[in-house]
Amino acid sequence: MREWIVKRRERTRHLIELGGLVVKAGLVELTDDDRAALYGAFLATAMTLRGEQREEALVRWRRRGKRAFEAEAQAKNATMNLHHRHQLRRNGRPSIAQ
């Protein structure tokens, strides 16, 4: 496959993932999908990152993001475990937790 196609696909995937984070954070819903408000928020964030509070902000935001990812993973695992136990019971097999 041509190199430019691979790079374009990688860039597209990256942009989709970033857009997913915007949605996951609830920003689209909280701004009623107001692109000007979203862009303004991103510009305010960029201004913070250009300022004296850069390192403090990055530490604080990174910590908050990691906690949110971990909480989401735990919730997903709990849901999957409940679903798995339900399926085992429904199929007449005893659950491991019993």
- The whole-number pLDDT of residue 94 equals 56
Q: pLDDT at position 93, please?
A: 61
- Give the domain ranges of the chain: 1-50, 53-98
pLDDT, position 77: 87
Amino acid 73: pLDDT: 93
Which pLDDT tens digits describe the chain residue by residue (98 residues)?
799 999 999 999 999 999 999 999 999 999 999 999 999 999 999 999 999 999 999 999 999 999 999 999 999 888 877 777 777 777 766 555 54
Q: Could you tell me if residue 83 is left (phi over 0), alpha (psi between -120 and 50 degrees) or otherwise beta? A: alpha
